Structure 1
Amino acid sequence: MSPGRRLGVLRSHLQAGAPSLPAGEGNRQVSAEQGAGVSTSPCVTAAGGRGEAEGKKSCVFCRIIRGEAPAFKVYEDDVCLCILDSHPLAPGHSLIIPKCHFPSLEATPPPVVAAMCSKVPFLSNAIMKATQCDSFNLVVNNGAAAGQVIFHTHFHIIPRRSGDKLWPAESFRRCSIEPKETSGLVSCIKEQLYPSPEGGKTEPSSLRKES
């Protein structure tokens, strides 16, 4: 794959997701899923335009939200979750994911998008401090042609450094995440998000590293 194509893809590589639901199907699930706080619907292929499930396979983000798949979580609230990308383009590369399943940005209700966007300054500031960066890219791959491979809406926060040459002429080869090093990075981000008055570590009970 050419560097240009890899730039377009920016794929998270957590796991290939199943094809998307029709927008109407996602919208019909909004009220029930928002009430529960966690999506219970699988990512399914569209059969005859009706979004019928094939094989009851859930998308990887839905599995992470339900606690069925591992992830390094750095933030969680009633609407969204922030995790580290398992094959980052830069240290601290993170994903903001809504807890309800929506296959694309346009199928995501504005209040959910607003809630995700409202966390960007908060999370990006902590991630930049933890990684000692002063810049970041906010990226959304929406649709297959734009490089979306997991059809569950998500934002990428990618820390940047001056001269890192991440986009122009690099191989774009990505390495697997290192659990030992990653644990320290997760702790560092959490310390930025939840500083204690005494300078010690504070970690909400809802946040934990899953392995």
Structure 2
Amino acid sequence: MAYDQENIFKKIIEGAVPCFKIFETDHCIAILDAFPMVRGHSLLIPKAEVVTLMDLQPDTAANVLKELPRLCKAVMAATNADGVNVFQNNLPSAGQVVMHAHFHVVPRFTGDNLMRFPGSAKTMIDQQEGGAVLAQIQAKMDDQTQEGGTGET
């Protein structure tokens, strides 16, 4: 999927659209979500022009992700949350709405029933299926290494 130069996060990063900025570094910006699930719902947005997390160069990803614990701690402390969810969606089939990579930081409270993740399978993965999936993933890891990883614009 091609990067949309007109997406809202690019406009926020450029300062063309106002936001409630929590902090900014050379590599990312943290803002309050304009349409929060709960009070304190925040976003960590790489400044790199990438659609998904998979498009980030490893060094850029490291520079963005090193800020995630700091944002999580600040959101939890400011909201007196009992916990925090961090989630990141890649592409529309996974729930991505804005086609610019970003991470959601959502404060959680005991009993809030805000969202639930599906339970794990009732039975453990068997040797044959585990081996088959493992081989497929490892083969793709080798492909990524040979291709030089990801391609940030």
Same fold (TM over 0.5): yes
Q: What does residue 95 of structure 2 align with? A: 147
Q: What does residue 136 of structure 1 align with? A: 84
Which of 48, 57, 74 is residue 126 of structure 1 equivalent to?
A: 74
Name the CA distance, whole Å, in 1 between partners of 2:60 and 2:37.
Answer: 26
TM-score of the pair, normalised by structure 2: 0.72
Does 1:161 find its partner at 2:109? Answer: yes
Name the CA distance, whole Å, in 2 between partners of 1:154 and 1:113.
Answer: 11
Name the CA distance, whole Å, in 1 between partners of 2:84 and 2:64.
Answer: 16
Name the CA distance, whole Å, in 1 between partners of 2:14 and 2:90.
Answer: 23
Q: What does residue 110 of structure 1 align with? A: 58
Query: For 1:25-44, what aligned pairs fall within 5 Å after superposition?
Result: 43-44=3-4
Does 1:70 find its partner at 2:49? Answer: no
Q: Residue 32 of structure 2 contacts residue 41 of structure 2 at CA under 8 Å; is this kept in 1?
A: yes
Query: For 1:6-21, what aligned pairs fall within 5 Å after superposition?
Result: 20-21=1-2
Q: Which runs of 5+ in 2 are unaligned?
A: 117-153
Which of 26, 33, 40 is residue 85 of structure 1 equivalent to?
A: 33
- Structure 1 letter corresponding to 2:97: V
Query: For 1:47-58, what aligned pairs fall within 5 Å after superposition?
Result: 58=6
Kindly state the Cα deviation for residue 67 of structure 1 after the two structures are TM-superposed: 0.7
Name the CA distance, whole Å, in 2 between partners of 1:133 and 1:103.
Answer: 30
More helix by percentage:
2
Name the CA distance, whole Å, in 2 between partners of 1:118 and 1:140.
Answer: 15
Name the CA distance, whole Å, in 2 between partners of 1:125 and 1:104.
Answer: 24
Aligned residues: 116
More strand by percentage:
2
Kindly state the Cα deviation for residue 134 of structure 1 after the two structures are TM-superposed: 2.4
- Percent identical among aligned pairs is 41
Kindly state the Cα deviation for residue 94 of structure 1 after the two structures are TM-superposed: 0.5
Name the CA distance, whole Å, in 2 between partners of 1:74 and 1:87.
Answer: 16
- Structure 1 letter corresponding to 2:66: S
Q: Residue 40 of structure 2 contacts residue 106 of structure 2 at CA under 8 Å; is this kept in 1?
A: yes
TM-score of the pair, normalised by structure 1: 0.53
Kindly state the Cα deviation for residue 163 of structure 1 after the two structures are TM-superposed: 0.5
Name the CA distance, whole Å, in 1 between partners of 2:111 and 2:25.
Answer: 35
SS in 2 for 1:68: coil
